[in-house]
Structure 1
């Protein structure tokens, strides 16, 4: 009876915390984000824009930000699923970031039709199932996106997503997880995000790092398989998190990936 009373009381307390808006206050890492937003010591980055799939329903923009110092190329995708708004918002934001080294390539609205309709899928279905291991991408949009990926030949790929539940807690959902290629820093990224972005009162929202096979049909898997890129699929969740918190977790995940791979010269700790 005592245990049941305690569990019920804990649930009431958590509900009160959520209702009060406390979930919208991740601890953050302002020094890392400030490093991403300010010009490098060696000078301003240069930004150029190109259009992918021009004069088609899929027409979308790609941004290339070149740092003054040489380094790896990282490619970040938002809007592979059009209703996962936190990744879209962060991908739009980072087109104004300033890497210290290398090149940052961003496609904020990868499936533009799905983004405009605020739907998971576009006219050709689920874009993130159109990169099979045994052949070419299976739609015009997937082929156009992959052509851009091959042209920029990234060393690092980060695909930003949002699920409805929590990986390992809700059977059918994959939120609060980092799926990654074998050579990527998935475990360290999860640890950093737990430190920076997960409140103590949400222990089930701690991030899980899961190594992914390269044989699947997802965009990040094809990048790992065909280009030998260090590849990540990042998932936060709608479950008990407000918009601000999802965006901040996604923003921090992006900054940490860039720092881990040498595009940002900032420590991982605040």
Structure 2
């Protein structure tokens, strides 16, 4: 009871300073996002949109963005939980980015029915518990999403989420955390986001990296386990953060992941 009272009471006290979102974005962030949004100087890439799970209640759009230069393949997912709007909105923007190398594949509304209903769960329950280690995907939707993942054989997977509280501060919640496969750049990603995206007046909102054992039933774990992908699940929080700030943190996380894995090029430190 005290924990929930703190969540509500703390928000009412501090929301006034947090609602303004990020204070000032460092120049490196401007350069990084410009690199993501503008075509490469070496030429135009190509793009393709396809429908996965076509003809079912779950059909949703997948965007393939091919850079003019060879490189790794990265997949970015939003809307695995339909009420986590920050990841959905960020992924919609990312589907119009221009990688400098490799291939970027984006599914903004992974669980489309849940997105339309603004609900965490879809018709078959929690999609992010349907990729167990000891058997195949556990629903028609999970199987269709996994078919798409297997078809692209991604080197990098990023799944965008949000929680209600802060990892290590609020029991049961995992906000402001980056869980990652052993070979991923989780600590470097957290360091960059803490420098670029967390205002000085929200010290409890610094991102915490955590290496995953990969034994669980989450989509990013399955991608790392089955395909050897460098995989991340990104969790921001709505505790003391407004929607625009959560979206900004999500898009910055994606941009940094793409830069860390060679899909975006930026002179100097990003």
Task: Indicate the TM-score class for this superposition, using the shorter chain for normalisation.
Answer: over 0.9
Looking at structure 1, the residues matched to 87 and 104 of structure 2 have their Cα atoms a distance apart, in angstroms, of 16
Consecutive unaligned residues in structure 2, runs of 5 or more = 1-8
Consecutive unaligned residues in structure 1, runs of 5 or more = 1-10
- TM-score for both structures, normalised by structure 2: 0.92
- Alpha carbons 1:73, 1:155 under 8 Å: kept: yes
Looking at structure 2, the residues matched to 154 and 84 of structure 1 have their Cα atoms a distance apart, in angstroms, of 24
- TM-score for both structures, normalised by structure 1: 0.92
Looking at structure 2, the residues matched to 160 and 191 of structure 1 have their Cα atoms a distance apart, in angstroms, of 18
- In structure 2, the residue corresponding to 1:119 is in which secondary structure? coil
Once the two structures are TM-superposed, the CA of residue 23 in structure 1 deviates from its matched residue by 4.0
- Alpha carbons 2:86, 2:250 under 8 Å: kept: yes
Looking at structure 2, the residues matched to 136 and 27 of structure 1 have their Cα atoms a distance apart, in angstroms, of 45
- In structure 1, the residue corresponding to 2:263 is in which secondary structure? coil
Partner residue in 1 for 2:53:
53
Once superposed, what is the RMSD of the aligned Cα atoms? 1.7
- Alpha carbons 2:54, 2:60 under 8 Å: kept: yes
CA displacement 1:224-268 (0-9 Å, x = unmatched) = 000000000000001000011101100100000000000000157
Looking at structure 1, the residues matched to 137 and 71 of structure 2 have their Cα atoms a distance apart, in angstroms, of 29
- Alpha carbons 2:71, 2:263 under 8 Å: kept: yes
1:165-176 aligned at under 5 Å gives the runs 165-176=165-176
Looking at structure 2, the residues matched to 97 and 104 of structure 1 have their Cα atoms a distance apart, in angstroms, of 9
Looking at structure 2, the residues matched to 26 and 73 of structure 1 have their Cα atoms a distance apart, in angstroms, of 33
- In structure 2, the residue corresponding to 1:148 is in which secondary structure? helix
- Alpha carbons 1:75, 1:104 under 8 Å: kept: yes
Partner residue in 1 for 2:21:
24
| Greater Rg over alpha carbons, structure | 1
CA displacement 1:67-101 (0-9 Å, x = unmatched) = 00000000000000000000000000011100000
